[in-house]
């Protein structure tokens, strides 16, 4: 892994998230887990990743509460890696990556996987940005307010 700045205390939530999951492997492991993969060898086969690198990533993801490692559901000696609710919440990141790729990286007839609603088997709707009151927002209608330190409590009298 390229050595880089530690972003784990950044005031920007984008940076802090990327500090944890900002590499291809972690997000591909999480994508596979969201699609039901739970065994070490299954991740390895799906991703073609070296054993040591997969073990490192899974350990890191367990340490950060994104996966939990549990005994296999079939009673065998294997362990399984299950997404926690914190991990499952990453589905929106994965969906956003998917939809951007669908929109910009495929030719019109190129085969690709599809994310569908189980009930109707139709592709899910594109994610959209909305204001708190439900108005649709374009990106230029938003603004990032920089972090401000919380005001100190009033001095004791």
Q: Under rule CB under 8 A, which residues in 26-45 are in contact with a second copy?
A: 27-28, 31, 34-35
| Nearest one of 114, 112, 38, 36 to 72, comparing CA atoms | 38
Q: Which of residues 50-79 bind a second copy (CB under 8 A)?
A: none
Nearest CA among 67, 84, 82, 89 for reference residue 17? 89
18 touches a second copy (CB under 8 A): yes
Cα separation, 47 vs 157, whole angstroms: 62
Candidates 134, 152, 154, 156; binder of a second copy (CB under 8 A) is: 134
Nearer to a second copy, 72 or 114 (CB): 114
Interface characters, 90-129, with a second copy (x: CB under 8 A): xxxxxxxxxxxxxxxxx--x-xxxxxxxxxxxxxxx-xxx
How far apart are CB 54 and a second copy at their closest, in Å? Answer: 12
Angle, CA of 118, 58 and 50, to the nearest 5°: 100
Minimum CB–partner distance for residue 153 and a second copy (Å): 11
Q: Residue 157 CB, nearest distance to a second copy (Å)?
A: 23
Q: Residue 27 is inside which H or E element, if any?
A: helix 24-34
**Closer to a second copy at the Cβ: 74 or 122?**
122
Closer by beta carbon to a second copy, 75 or else 142:
142
Nearest to 64 by CA among 44, 38, 83, 40: 83
Does 156 bind a second copy (CB under 8 A)? Our answer is no
| Side-chain half-sphere CA neighbours of 87 within 13 A | 26
């Amino acid at each position: 892994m390229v050595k880089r700045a530690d972003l784990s205390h950044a005031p920007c939530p984008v940076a802090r998230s990327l500090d944890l999951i900002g590499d291809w492997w972690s997000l591909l492991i999480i994508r596979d887990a969201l699609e039901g993969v739970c065994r070490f060898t299954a991740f390895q086969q799906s991703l073609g990743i070296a054993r040591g690198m997969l073990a490192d990533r899974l350990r890191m993801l367990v340490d950060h509460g994104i996966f939990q490692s549990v005994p296999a559901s079939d009673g065998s000696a294997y362990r399984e890696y299950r997404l926690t609710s914190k991990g499952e919440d990453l589905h929106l990141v994965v969906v956003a990556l998917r939809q951007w790729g669908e929109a910009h990286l495929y030719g019109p007839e190129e085969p690709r996987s599809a994310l569908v609603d189980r009930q109707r088997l139709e592709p899910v709707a594109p994610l959209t940005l909305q204001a708190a009151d439900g108005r649709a927002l374009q990106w230029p209608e938003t603004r990032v307010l920089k972090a401000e330190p919380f005001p100190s409590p009033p001095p004791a009298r």
